[in-house]
Amino acid sequence: MKECLANYALRLFIIFDCELYYYVSERLCPKMMKAVFLEKPGGHLVMKEVNIPVPGPGEVLIKMKAAPVNPSDLARIRNTAAGHDLATFIPGIEGSGTVVVAGKGILPRLWLGKRVACSSEYPSSGTWAEYMVTKAGNCFPLSEKINDEQGSMSLVNPLTALAFFEIIKENNHKAIINNAAASALGRMVEMLGKKQKIPVINIVRNQHQTELLKNSGSQYILDSSSFSFIEDLGKLSHDLKATILFDSVCSRQLDNIIDALPSGSSVIIYGNLSGEEHIMINPRCLIDNDIKISGFYLGRRAKKNGLLKNMMNLREVGRLMSSDMKIKIRGRFPLDRAQEAVDTYLGNMSAGKVLLVM
Ligand SMILES: NC(=O)c1ccc[n+]([C@@H]2O[C@H](COP(=O)([O-])OP(=O)(O)OC[C@H]3O[C@@H](n4cnc5c(N)ncnc54)[C@H](OP(=O)(O)O)[C@@H]3O)[C@@H](O)[C@H]2O)c1
């Protein structure tokens, strides 16, 4: 009871007497931190010591605990290397940690002292660092049931999986097709499909991944390297009335895949794992079969959703991640071995996530 009252008093103190709290917490923080940088375009990741950033209005400073290596991190590293100042660029899009300093504003102060899942806002302050400044709106308190490691992966993929099922329901699709299905996101889509009784056709790229999914109970698995893949996809998608394809590969095969889909299908591109910059699609197929193609980016959807809806989705993610939706972790690396972490991850992406731990 005493502890509860003390906590309550502290919260009031934080909200109403924020200037003093800001002053105290800022001074309790060290001034320097270790963070990951890219040594040169196409070069290695290295660790450097730099000043800890200071949060401005509406922002918080987070003492980071863990951050995964995701395909979007590698894409961002590639894109940033092409056009930005590498001296200030710190990679890492999502992670977890504790809010240790609050900038001006109600939300930053509400989050102060809380363990949060967070995403980066600025290229100069990523999650692959001991501390990160980001917008308070990019932070979501973690439930006690989720540890720092699982929490560090609770935004990008779980929220995307939930968004897919919102899209499916909004458009009344009876079954779905997902590519790169042995990915962490693919497994979440399969799990949510089972829960919501929506059949998922999982496309993988080799026999090993087929076995992996079979062993974890997936019913519909197609190997894109098999001779009969397009024919099998055509038959299964028509049988199950799978009229939506989520594609994160975007390879030259997409043209044939689209050709095999039932008439009126939607294709949603959400990744570019193949690295192909331009792919060809037969316009006749789009016209004759009434196929719609669009893109999906979680950041855009989250901004559109607003804080309240995002918080509700995060609550659902928390519930799922504390039961069935645990993400497999393959390795943990300190910041000074970030390059090794990325190499390990790229060596076998389907084997589980690689984390940077601070
Ligand atoms: N648009 C968005 O907002 C959004 C949000 C979340 C995720 N995503 C995207 O979702 C995808 C999955 O992310 P994740 O974190 O779940 O991935 P992950 O767990 O790291 O796994 C990546 C998977 O992709 C497979 N893969 C890699 N290159 C491939 C290629 N050229 N062709 C076919 N398969 C390939 C890997 O297979 P191997 O083991 O054989 O390499 C592995 O199964 C990524 O493209 C990511 O960018 C997009």
Domains of the chain in start order, with CATH, are 2-153+327-357 (3.90.180.10), 156-298 (3.40.50.720)
pLDDT string in tens for the chain (358-residue length)? 444 444 454 555 555 545 555 555 556 668 899 999 999 888 899 999 999 999 999 999 999 999 999 999 999 898 876 667 888 999 999 999 999 999 999 999 999 999 999 999 999 999 999 999 999 999 999 999 899 999 999 999 999 999 999 999 999 999 999 999 999 999 999 999 999 999 999 999 999 999 999 999 999 999 999 999 999 999 999 999 999 999 999 999 999 999 999 999 999 999 999 999 899 999 999 999 999 999 999 999 998 888 889 889 999 999 999 887 889 999 999 999 999 999 999 999 999 999 999 9
Could you tell me which residues are beta bridge partners of residue 332?
A: 355
**What is the structure's pLDDT at 28?**
62
For residue 107, how far is its CA from the centre of ligand 1 (angstroms)? 33
Q: Which atom in ligand 1 lies closest to the alpha carbon of residue 206?
A: 40
**What is the structure's pLDDT at 308?**
87
- Average pLDDT of the chain, as a whole number: 91
Residue closest by Cα to atom 34 of ligand 1: 180
**What is the structure's pLDDT at 3?**
45
For residue 219, how far is its CA from the centre of ligand 1 (angstroms)? 20
Residue closest by Cα to atom 20 of ligand 1: 349
Q: Where are the alpha helices (DSSP H) in the chain?
A: 2-16, 18-28, 71-83, 106-111, 148-151, 156-170, 184-195, 207-215, 229-240, 254-260, 283-289, 298-321, 338-347
**What is the structure's pLDDT at 258?**
97
In this structure, the residues whose C-beta lies within 6 A of any atom of ligand 1 are 70-72, 156-157, 160, 180, 182-185, 205, 248-249, 270-271, 273-274, 296-298, 348-350
Q: Which atom in ligand 1 lies closest to the alpha carbon of residue 352?
A: 19
Residue from 204, 248, 317 whose mutation best tests the ligand 1 pocket (most atoms within 8 A of CB):
248
Which residues does 76 contact at the CB level (< 8 Å), separation at least 6? 91, 93, 123
Q: Which atom in ligand 1 lies closest to the alpha carbon of residue 296?
A: 1
Residue closest by Cα to atom 7 of ligand 1: 157
In contact, 125 and 41? CB cutoff 8 Å: no
For residue 21, how far is its CA from the centre of ligand 1 (angstroms)? 42
Find tokens 């940077």 and name the residue.
356
For residue 69, how far is its CA from the centre of ligand 1 (angstroms)? 11
Which residues does 287 contact at the CB level (< 8 Å), separation at least 6? none
For residue 90, how far is its CA from the centre of ligand 1 (angstroms)? 22
**CB-CB neighbours of 328 under 10 Å:** 10
For residue 50, how far is its CA from the centre of ligand 1 (angstroms)? 32
Residue from 166, 177, 178, 185 whose mutation best tests the ligand 1 pocket (most atoms within 8 A of CB):
185
**For 319, left (φ over 0), alpha (ψ -120 to 50), or beta?**
alpha
Q: Which atom in ligand 1 lies closest to the alpha carbon of residue 71?
A: 47
**What is the structure's pLDDT at 6?**
46
For residue 184, how far is its CA from the centre of ligand 1 (angstroms)? 8
Could you tell me which residues are beta bridge partners of residue 145?
A: none
Which helix (H) or strand (E) segment holds residue 202: the answer is strand 200-204
Distance CA 145, CA 143 (A): 5
Residue from 273, 305, 346 whose mutation best tests the ligand 1 pocket (most atoms within 8 A of CB):
273
Q: Which atom in ligand 1 lies closest to the alpha carbon of residue 298?
A: 3
For residue 151, how far is its CA from the centre of ligand 1 (angstroms)? 19
